[in-house]
Chain A
């Protein structure tokens, strides 16, 4: 096939990366140019104290059509939620409503400067106060900061508040307990906050092993970090015993809100005994992932921890106006300005589109869609935890690996050939050959069915023609990449002369 495509000598097939934008263009090409200077030109070397740049940075020098075509080609090599089902477990890849995008771009939001006086940003403050109230209501934890830029940043913010709380009550303590099913950000955050990680095992239902937890708990423990529903997609029904045991030794209970999409309007982390929760607005509240960010990771805490939150916090005064206030014992800022405001606008828009009932309905449908897929797939793949799941479930590719040498990774890659983004693989760590599937509530039934059909077809293929699965994908812009070479021969940037 390649021979035919390459018949015109020197013309390469369109598939895969083409040249870098840094390699095209010419020195006299122009795209957007600033207007003619209307003030006297300065002598740069003189006004910059001798620090004028002698050689210009080698940025691209191209025309607008070249910019447009370059990025159109890059976009064509990408897969997004609009491209097809994206059942990436723990990532909640739901549809990103377009009105959210329009909202964030309104001049009255996008062109605000953070140093503007509060009188000139009343609408922005109102939006933030309302969003914080909504998040407080959904979480059952009424004190909220919108400052953190991402989930991990929210974890860090909460743990620093915990540290300040403990310090104010005798000492910071030294350890934080994390179950072995936790996201990697949890232990990484613990270290950044100056604590030691103590890992507790899970029981045969993927729940926290209560006996092991009780053994690990003492007055050196600052907190337990827990995801509920957990990372195998199950709600830990011992949650009240867990948080009570944590509180018994004076420690605090932290909820990783990555899986909030399952329980919005159904059960509130505050009612489960959690003291703090971060919410990923870029998961649960439909703001886009942007190819890795920006997100937003607001933190909701109990009123007694509210005094430690980072400031400033938008507030509503009795006279109906809005302002900013810094909590009494605030840990201080965790970033500049007020947070990823543009992301907050999108989440606010989503909340106002759905209302309270709509939010609960989203959670219910997410759970129903996950259970539906689980039923369709549980006879083909091993299901380590056979009970009603929440918004996601974990299958194991153990059978396919043992019988045909086809690994979870191979199954994931083969899905690409059928137009699906793969599920999360090899996480959580406690399930061998894990395939973690989260369809979300925004997936049409036809796509759920097609995904199940393809998963079943791949399992069949694994038994009849395993090498085809192991060599996948075949139809993507590039095929499996050499990751080892990327480390051995680091090429992390282009430079002149390449």
Chain B
């Protein structure tokens, strides 16, 4: 059988050594009533060659973005991944290893995570970063829970301009009754701060205010103002952000963020239908004991040589059990490694140049689309490389017809948490060429 290296003869010898005549005798503790004596209704096995063609066929029945010109974003972006990234994470010493609980034979993973933590700190401006969370959504939820522990409060204020799937995830976790979620509305593309009195009331007694910048609509928020209000009220400011944009944008730490989280996919991870990538999580050192997730530290071994090790483990479930800061065990280590290799390969200048290209191209496309007269801007606020427009017509119909022409025409905003009528969210990465954008504009104009 595939992947079992024991021959029939060896199997017989092993049975004899164990003192049974048949492998079924080893299952004598399983009561007869729960023995499964049927055959599993599972498709019959395939040899590797037929399996390879079956998989290719299945994959080919999708329309990957490689065959489309994509302007879809909303948390998952079509960035270029340098060749070296996959070559590194394909090394079996990395991908076939377990969690680095035995530091003596895990220095590779441990050092890579330490470097990853350092790079995330550099990007976000924060003091410590953990080894990764499942995704941006769960990183945001963990930040809310951590803020509740730090402040010993239970009210979580979240802007409705945060990604709707992330808010939904927060609501799911909050249904357990450990925190109470209060939403604040947004207006003109950003979280509403006009009626300051109202916002001040909302953040009163809050453990945390959760805000995204860029937010779901691509807009940049006034973090300083929201941070001030939050801190006045004794809460923590949690900022979700896009790590690619941090190549050219001031890190949230400067605006007083206490916890910075986000979806790490833009850094060297394939879109893969939205997973696996990773959530990043960074905070201030003083709150480290309330942090969720794994942390790697640098220390020395008995010979005094530099060595890396998992540390502050008393926060974690395998030690602290029901009093742990989170139940997370497996994280997204290999995706974090992809990000570290990506950041090493592009470097600070490459990341800045890539982010600048994204921003420039997004601003170019937006202007061109508005110039067609088919799109209007619902608001005028700063944005990075993603923006919302109102379409003079049926968005779903436009997207369908553009898909037939080979374009993924953004994300329909009529399904957003606060729907934007006839709204469409468009993202432009460095991969889109001027020629692609110009043809997109022509095609959409011709509908």
Q: Is the CB of B176 within 8 A of A194?
A: yes
Tell me if B23 counts as interface (CB < 8 A to partner A). yes
Tell me if B327 counts as interface (CB < 8 A to partner A). yes
For the complex formed, measure the closest distance between the CB of A170 and the CB atoms of chain B, giving whole angstroms: 16
Q: Is the CB of B322 within 8 A of A153?
A: no
A338 with B274, Cβ < 8 A, contacts A30-B347, A353-B48 known: yes
Highest count of chain A CB atoms <10 Å: which of B99, B123, B271: B271
A291 with B99, Cβ < 8 A, contacts A67-B345, A194-B176, A337-B275 known: yes
Residues of A within 8 A of B251 (CB): 53, 57
Tell me if A216 counts as interface (CB < 8 A to partner B). no
A104 with B272, Cβ < 8 A, contacts A64-B84, A78-B97, A240-B33 known: yes
The residue in chain A whose Cβ has the minimal distance to the Cβ of B126 is A493
Chain A interface: which of B202-210, B230-238, B300-308, B370-378? Answer: B300-308
Measured in the bound complex, the distance between the Cα atoms of B30 and A266 in whole Å is 9
Specify the main secondary structure of chain A where it touches its partner: loop
**Contact mask A103-117 → B, CB, 8 Å, 1/0?**
111111111111111
Tell me if A335 counts as interface (CB < 8 A to partner B). yes
Residues of A within 8 A of B13 (CB): 445
Q: Is the CB of B29 within 8 A of A124?
A: no
Measured in the bound complex, the distance between the Cα atoms of B6 and A72 in whole Å is 32
Measured in the bound complex, the distance between the Cα atoms of B129 and A52 in whole Å is 23
Q: Is the CB of A234 within 8 A of B48?
A: no
- Which residues B334-360 have CB closer than 8 A to chain A? 334-335, 337, 341, 343-354, 356-357, 359-360
Q: Is the CB of B23 within 8 A of A368?
A: yes
A109 with B29, Cβ < 8 A, contacts A86-B98, A353-B51, A478-B307 known: no
Residues of B within 8 A of A478 (CB): 103-104, 107, 301, 303, 305-307
Highest count of chain B CB atoms <10 Å: which of A29, A34, A291, A490: A291
Q: Is the CB of B97 within 8 A of A291?
A: yes
Residues of B within 8 A of A101 (CB): 90, 95
A442 with B3, Cβ < 8 A, contacts A67-B341, A332-B168 known: yes
Measured in the bound complex, the distance between the Cα atoms of B302 and A109 in whole Å is 47
The residue in chain B whose Cβ has the minimal distance to the Cβ of A101 is B90
- Which residues B119-167 have CB closer than 8 A to chain A? 119, 121-123, 127-129, 131-132, 134-138, 145, 163, 165-166
Chain B interface: which of A42-50, A400-408, A458-466? Answer: A42-50
Tell me if B441 counts as interface (CB < 8 A to partner A). no
Total number of residue pairs linking A and B with CB closer than 8 Å: 718
**Contact mask B416-434 → A, CB, 8 Å, 1/0?**
0000000000000010011
Q: Is the CB of B63 within 8 A of A375?
A: no
For the complex formed, measure the closest distance between the CB of B307 and the CB atoms of chain A, giving whole angstroms: 4
Residues of A within 8 A of B72 (CB): 113, 115-116
**Contact mask B66-80 → A, CB, 8 Å, 1/0?**
101010101110101
Q: Is the CB of B250 within 8 A of A53?
A: yes
Measured in the bound complex, the distance between the Cα atoms of B33 and A235 in whole Å is 14
Measured in the bound complex, the distance between the Cα atoms of B168 and A155 in whole Å is 19
Tell me if B111 counts as interface (CB < 8 A to partner A). yes
A293 with B332, Cβ < 8 A, contacts A54-B250, A372-B17, A481-B299 known: yes
Residues of B within 8 A of A93 (CB): 98
Q: Is the CB of A442 within 8 A of B250?
A: no
Tell me if A211 counts as interface (CB < 8 A to partner B). no
For the complex formed, measure the closest distance between the CB of A403 and the CB atoms of chain B, giving whole angstroms: 25
**Contact mask A155-177 → B, CB, 8 Å, 1/0?**
11000100110000000100000
In the complex, 12 of the A-B residue pairs with CB atoms within 8 angstroms, ordered by the A residue number, are: A16-B107, A25-B347, A57-B246, A78-B105, A117-B399, A123-B57, A188-B326, A295-B330, A332-B169, A335-B135, A371-B18, A482-B302
The residue in chain B whose Cβ has the minimal distance to the Cβ of A420 is B105
Q: How many residues of chain A get a CB closer than 8 Å to chain B's CBs?
A: 208
Q: Is the CB of A336 within 8 A of B97?
A: no
Residues of A within 8 A of B19 (CB): 375
Q: How many residues of chain B get a CB closer than 8 Å to chain A's CBs?
A: 205
A333 with B322, Cβ < 8 A, contacts A48-B384, A239-B31, A288-B95 known: no
Tell me if A126 counts as interface (CB < 8 A to partner B). yes
Measured in the bound complex, the distance between the Cα atoms of B176 and A172 in whole Å is 9
Tell me if A379 counts as interface (CB < 8 A to partner B). no
Highest count of chain B CB atoms <10 Å: which of A47, A53, A236, A290: A290
The residue in chain A whose Cβ has the minimal distance to the Cβ of B346 is A32
Across the interface, A60 reaches (CB within 8 A) one of B136, B337, B344, namely B344
Q: Is the CB of B134 within 8 A of A493?
A: no
Tell me if B195 counts as interface (CB < 8 A to partner A). no
Q: Is the CB of A81 within 8 A of B59?
A: no
- Which residues B13-63 have CB closer than 8 A to chain A? 13-15, 17-20, 23, 25-31, 33-36, 39-46, 48, 51-52, 54-63
Across the interface, B98 reaches (CB within 8 A) one of A30, A292, A489, namely A292
Measured in the bound complex, the distance between the Cα atoms of B335 and A343 in whole Å is 12
Measured in the bound complex, the distance between the Cα atoms of B11 and A443 in whole Å is 12
Tell me if A192 counts as interface (CB < 8 A to partner B). yes
A82 with B3, Cβ < 8 A, contacts A99-B52, A114-B271, A338-B274 known: no
Q: Give 10 closest A-B pairs by Cβ, nearest first.
A: A337-B274, A108-B59, A290-B334, A355-B45, A49-B382, A114-B274, A292-B333, A356-B40, A80-B96, A78-B108
Q: Is the CB of A191 within 8 A of B104?
A: no
Q: Is the CB of A94 within 8 A of B3?
A: yes
Measured in the bound complex, the distance between the Cα atoms of B281 and A423 in whole Å is 31
